[in-house]
Structure 1
Amino acid sequence: MMFERIAPEQHDTLDGIPEPAENPVLVGHHEARDALASAYHAGKLPHALLFVGPQGIGKATFAFHFAYHLLSHVDHRLAPKRLVSPDVSSSLFRQIANGAHPSILHLTRPLNDKTKSYKSAVTVDEIRKVSRFLSLTSHDGGYRVVIVDPADDMNTNAANALLKNLEEPPARTLFVLIAHSLGRLLPTIRSRCQIVRFNPLADNEVLAVLGGFDTGLPASETERTELLANASGSPRTAILLTQYGGLEIAGALDQLLREPRVPVAQAHKLAEAVAARDQAIAFSLFNDHALEVVATAATAAARDGEIERAERFSQAWQDLRIAMSEADTYNLDRKQHALNMIFRLHDTLRM
């Protein structure tokens, strides 16, 4: 499906795929839809919601749909008990989609003006926009909505700044924090939010999402089954796997890790492929799969009762995550980072 992009591009924008703010279709998550729409109708909406679940399953799309619901029904008593779908022809939808609605503040990883690439964190300067936003009077007496996506990308200063806003928000203010990893948020932030958990989509729901985009779904049933197994209920992951070489990257890394000793030539070939200047998404896919390999090993060890080994894998996961963050923050050589990851992973799996 071809579409006219009207939303500002973000750090994780994919070609041909709508941003959450401009996506009129929300698939799945019916329990959360009904619960939050009913809470708003009853006048019992909390001031802060924390949407938690895997990346790419529709949490941000849900957040913008819910914001549309609030702003199109200013009097909560007259709001339907079920979430309304946006009217794409309405001025409200287009204002929200292009980031121009005065009652919505969307905070995410900002663009670095010097490097023209996106920063690796949601910065304190972004969060400082909240106080200015909330100091303004709502233009229609309705809700003001602050969406932080992803909240677990906030650095420490940003998280502490947001905490102050969460402690005493003005009336008719809603914070929606979107997190892929609950453990990366400050406990004090978690305690001030009502947590809403989002589950991975079912296979038929993933296919329903992909069917609405021009994603080049595999033609054969076998290939679709393999894709769904690797996507783990995330349409975004499925798109990355099919359109950005994710399956090939994961397969190449897995093959290297199965070898008794890392084949140096093949390791360099993979590192070069994912580290090229125009391969930011491939580089991210490589890192994500590396973390997934260690997380899977930790889960398997814990399931087998090997608690000490599982803890070593968990610590290795943290160490790898720090290495990835440092490579991003300090703009380290990507090829060398990828090579280091391959050899560290190989050693880690033989602990």
Structure 2
Amino acid sequence: MAGLIGHEDAENAFLDAWGSGRLHHAWLLAGPQGMGKAAFAARAARFLMTHGRGGNGRPESLDDPGDTAAGRLVEAGNHPEIVRLERAPKDKSKDLARNITIDQVRGMIRRLHLSLSLGDWRVIIVDAVDDLETDGANALLKTLEEPPAQTLFLLVSHSPGRLLPTIRSRCRTLRFQPIEHDVMTAWLHEIRSMLDMADLRAIVSASGGVPGKALALVDSDVAAMEKKLATIAATGDPGNRLREALAREVGGTANRARLELAIDIVPGLLTRIARDRPIAEIAPVLAQWDRVQRTARDAVRGSYDGAMVGFEIGNCLAELAPRSRQGAR
């Protein structure tokens, strides 16, 4: 049950509200990407389709089967009262549009004027609300201010601080926090028991407590990435061979997870380097970490170039090589 880790508090809060008959009309599911917020939204929607209005106590879990006929409709993706707003594919390509458009929001609002055709609830899942166009966000806000009866909004947000304050104020917030290191380690070991312990520890460290990210890294050769970065820092990478290989490995949209892995490995690597250096030599190590952070931040703000970011990370690490080895470059 990989998707369940870290959901316990959010699940209990939602079930308590439903069981009391006082289910708020809009819920903001807030936390880092990869925490399972969309999976939680899908489970909550299924629960409402299969359990009705509420107000008479609560089951132990959102996974309680309830009405099995309604459950089969949900699982087949055919339940008429679950509406999803997400970025649509561009034309016939696999790439997604940059935003959820105002036209998509208007289409959802038109659905709200129709009577319920099945069950007691209509559920609107917006994944992610961060992706709404400005006009779309304003249109959604108006709907949240005057919500139709028996309609529930589940708004997934990776960056809730960037939302309109008025949208946040209309919602009850469920926070999905990064998972503690020991809990993540035990969970990942349970579901991926074939992992070497060294790789498992590296994945957990690089994941930052985000389960989805940990699962994405399972198929990455974490140990090889760590070795490459450590070798650049130790040798200065004469001739740029390792830096060029790193740039190829993390360049392009398809390799973004590997770029994030490289960025996430750097803090632990620099910590180990600093630990082995005299106090007087720690400042340059910290300076290179600041440089890595600036590079990653500037790349996200501007035109994304993973290969450039990867090569610059290599440059930062190469600066930490002993001077005698840097001179050989």
- The verdict on a shared fold, with TM-score over 0.5 as the criterion, is yes
| 1:142 shift after superposition | 1.1
8 A contact 1:256–1:263 mirrored in 2: no
Aligned residue number for residue 71 of structure 2: 93
Report matched runs for 1:113-262 at 5 Å: 113-140=91-118, 142-202=120-180, 203-204=182-183, 207-208=186-187, 211-212=190-191, 217-219=194-196, 221-245=197-221, 248=224, 252=228
- Aligned pair 1:286/2:263, yes or no? no
Aligned residue number for residue 78 of structure 1: 56
Report matched runs for 1:304-319 at 5 Å: 318-319=297-298
Report Cα offsets for 1:188-238 as digits up to 9, x if no partner. Answer: 2212211111122344466547745xx57413x333222222222222211
Report Cα offsets for 1:318-344 as digits up to 9, x if no partner. Answer: 533222xx44xxxxxxxxx22432466
Amino acid at match of 1:94: R
- Aligned pair 1:338/2:306, yes or no? yes
8 A contact 2:129–2:157 mirrored in 1: yes
Question: Which range is displaced more, 172-181 or 105-114?
Answer: 105-114
The size of the alignment, in residue pairs, is 300
The CA distance in 2 between the partners of 1:160 and 1:291, in whole Å, is 36
More helix by share: 2
| 1:112 shift after superposition | 1.1
2:299 to 320, 324, 328: 320
Taking a change above 3 Å as real, the CA distance of residues 24 and 255 of structure 1, as seen in their structure-2 partners, is: closer
* Runs of 5+ consecutive residues of structure 2 not aligned to the other structure: 271-282, 284-288, 320-329
| 1:25 shift after superposition | 6.0
Taking a change above 3 Å as real, the CA distance of residues 143 and 246 of structure 1, as seen in their structure-2 partners, is: farther
Taking a change above 3 Å as real, the CA distance of residues 138 and 207 of structure 1, as seen in their structure-2 partners, is: farther
- Aligned pair 1:52/2:48, yes or no? no
| 1:173 shift after superposition | 1.1
Taking a change above 3 Å as real, the CA distance of residues 342 and 46 of structure 1, as seen in their structure-2 partners, is: same
The CA distance in 2 between the partners of 1:187 and 1:257, in whole Å, is 44
Rg bigger for which structure?
2
Taking a change above 3 Å as real, the CA distance of residues 283 and 32 of structure 1, as seen in their structure-2 partners, is: closer
The CA distance in 1 between the partners of 2:94 and 2:49, in whole Å, is 34
8 A contact 1:103–1:143 mirrored in 2: yes
8 A contact 1:51–1:179 mirrored in 2: yes
The CA distance in 2 between the partners of 1:89 and 1:142, in whole Å, is 12
The CA distance in 1 between the partners of 2:296 and 2:251, in whole Å, is 21
| 1:347 shift after superposition | 8.5
Report matched runs for 1:268-287 at 5 Å: 268-275=244-251, 280=254, 282-286=255-259
Aligned residue number for residue 64 of structure 1: 42
| 1:92 shift after superposition | 2.8
| 1:313 shift after superposition | 9.0
The CA distance in 2 between the partners of 1:290 and 1:171, in whole Å, is 46
Report Cα offsets for 1:4-41 as digits up to 9, x if no partner. Answer: xxxxxxxxxxxxxxxxxxx8963342222222111112
The CA distance in 1 between the partners of 2:189 and 2:114, in whole Å, is 40
Taking a change above 3 Å as real, the CA distance of residues 315 and 122 of structure 1, as seen in their structure-2 partners, is: farther
8 A contact 1:51–1:198 mirrored in 2: yes
8 A contact 1:27–1:209 mirrored in 2: no
The CA distance in 2 between the partners of 1:161 and 1:244, in whole Å, is 41
8 A contact 2:20–2:57 mirrored in 1: no
SS in structure 2 of the partner of residue 341 of structure 1: helix
Report Cα offsets for 1:292-311 as digits up to 9, x if no partner. Answer: 969xx9xxxxxx9xxxxx99
8 A contact 1:291–1:321 mirrored in 2: no
The CA distance in 1 between the partners of 2:234 and 2:136, in whole Å, is 41
Taking a change above 3 Å as real, the CA distance of residues 132 and 216 of structure 1, as seen in their structure-2 partners, is: farther
Taking a change above 3 Å as real, the CA distance of residues 265 and 290 of structure 1, as seen in their structure-2 partners, is: same
The CA distance in 1 between the partners of 2:107 and 2:188, in whole Å, is 33
Amino acid at match of 1:283: R
Amino acid at match of 2:256: F
8 A contact 1:29–1:199 mirrored in 2: no
The CA distance in 2 between the partners of 1:170 and 1:253, in whole Å, is 55
8 A contact 1:262–1:346 mirrored in 2: no
The CA distance in 1 between the partners of 2:216 and 2:237, in whole Å, is 29
* Identity across the alignment (%): 32
Taking a change above 3 Å as real, the CA distance of residues 341 and 141 of structure 1, as seen in their structure-2 partners, is: same
